[in-house]
Amino acid sequence: MGAPTVTVGIPLYKRREYVEGALKSAARQDYANVDILISDNGENPEELRTWVEERMEGRPFRFRRNESTVDLTRHFNQLVEEARGDYFVLLCDDDEISPNYVSSLAKHLTDDPEIAVAVARADLIDESGHRRPKEQAHFPAGVHTCGDFIRIWCGHEYDFGSFVTNMARTGSIVAAGGYPDFVKGNSIDNALLIALCVGHKVALVDGASFRYRIYESSTGLAADYRELGKAQRQFLRYLNRHPSLQAFEREHPADWKMMKDQIVEMAWRTYRHRWKNMYRDRLSRGEWARAAFQMPFIPAYYRAVLPHLVKSVIRGR
């Protein structure tokens, strides 16, 4: 029996200044059985396919095109639906992966069927592709239970940066319903990851890296507070309604409560951090105050934002 095939799906959308790095990082994988699927989301010129081919360095690939643009979540799910690989990796058009990414992560999934997701070390890069320094603990490499992984992630023991790129079994992604339909794609990678890993194991792989490009106009940082707030509410409802999570809760109520509490705290802390910093700089005082109330009623969240609102009123700014 040969090595499993891995589909690397690359969604393209109006970011040609970065996509060359993504294409070349996929083309230079040291794993033979890679199904590279490149998808144009409908607003690039017709000659894009030729431009892509010139940058794939002779590596075979498949190319698909949407005649008109679909939303981000639908585009991601199109790649899953058309994947031919046993395993699936989504690589956004402004990110990169190390040459041994596919081979290193696929080995873990192949060696241990209880591993649901393999996650590589995250390296943050800027617009120029230079690595951004970050202060944090050593990458916690190894195979972890879902509970331990949630603790590492939500407790910020390691800054993963983003979970948009990891490796999972294609069939499991389909069975989980694919990427959920949250506004503008916010938090859909987190939600799917949780649905995949609950009740299973997660491999954190230090020998390979996911190079996550972060900049002011990237999808996450560009989110309007109303969009982000709505997506966070959708994410929290997902935790209560997804069939896999409901099934796990019935069988392991105490374990799920512990994990869910950590996930919910991570979600509101993420929104509060952006509200306190990024949105404070972007919004007028009145709109910034209104932005505080985009989250549902979570007592810990409102206890955390209230002092900042009071201080703003006192200072008049």
In this predicted structure, the answer to whether residue 135 has a pLDDT above a threshold of 60 is no
- Residue 152 domain-assigned (yes or no): yes
Reported as a single tens digit per residue, the pLDDT across 81-103 is 999 999 999 999 999 999 999 99
pLDDT tens figures, 230-274: 999 999 999 999 999 999 999 999 999 999 999 999 999 999 999
pLDDT for 243 equals 97
* 317 pLDDT higher than 90: no
Same domain? 110 vs 185: yes
User: Rounded distance, CA 193 to CA 117, Å?
Assistant: 8
Say how far apart CA 287 and CA 225 lie, in whole Å.
Answer: 10
For position 140, which CATH number holds? Answer: 3.90.550.10
- Domain shared by 196 and 80, yes or no: yes
Host H or E run for residue 42: none
Would residue 218 count as lying in a domain? no
Q: What is the largest CA-CA distance in the chain?
A: 70
Band of pLDDT at residue 31, cut at 50, 70 and 90:
very high
Element (H, E) at 93: none
Interval 41-63 mean pLDDT: 87
Residue 281 banded pLDDT, cuts 50, 70, 90: confident
Between CA 67 and CA 168 the distance in angstroms is 29
* Judgement on whether residues 149 and 68 belong to the same structural domain of the protein: yes
Q: Which of 7-16, 66-75, 226-235 has the weakest average pLDDT?
A: 7-16
Same domain, 138 and 40: yes
- 168, 185, 213 — which closes off a domain? 213
Is 46 within a domain? yes
Q: Radius of gyration of the chain from Cα atoms?
A: 20
Handedness of CA 48, 221, 150, 194 (dihedral sign): negative
94 lies in some domain: yes
Structural domain count, the chain: 2
- Asked whether the predicted pLDDT for residue 217 surpasses 70, the reply is no
Q: Whole domain around residue 278: which residue ranges?
A: 225-315
Cβ count within 10 A of residue 273: 11
Are both 179 and 274 inside the same structural domain? Answer: no
Q: Which long-range contacts (CB under 8 A, 24 or more apart) does 308-311 make?
A: 308/276
Instruction: Please tell me whether residues 44 and 110 are part of one structural domain.
Output: yes
Residues 139 and 185 both lie in one domain: yes
- Does 79 map to a domain? yes
Hey, what amino acid is at 212?
Answer: Y
Strand partners, 115: 201
Q: How buried is residue 10: exposed, middle or buried, by Cβ count under 10 Å (0-12/13-18/19+)?
A: buried
Quick one: pLDDT at residue 311? 87
Helix, strand or coil for residue 43? coil
Domain assignment of residue 219, yes or no: no
Instruction: Look at residues 179, 213, 247 and tell me which one is the last residue of a structural domain.
Output: 213
Pair (122, 202) in one structural domain = yes
152 plus 236 within the same structural domain? no
Residues 206 and 230 in one domain: no
Nearest alpha carbon to residue 44 among 84, 16, 20: 16
Residue with tokens 């090595």: 3
Work out the pLDDT band at 61, boundaries 50, 70, 90: very high
Residues 240 and 116 in one domain: no
Of 213, 234, 251, the residue that ends a domain is 213
51 in Cβ contact with 17 (< 8 Å) = no
Strands 6-12 and 34-40, how do they pair? parallel
Residues in a beta bridge with 145: 201
Label residues 71-110 b or e (16+ Cβ within 10 Å = b): ebbebbbbbbeebebbbbbbbbbbbbbbbbbbbbbbbbbe
Residue type, 184: K
Does 1 fall in a domain?
no
Nearest CA-CA partner of 298 in 272, 270, 268:
268
Does residue 95 fall inside a structural domain? yes
- Residues near 137 by Cβ (< 8 Å), separated by ≥ 6? 157, 158
Same-domain status, 136 and 244: no
pTM strictly above 0.75: yes
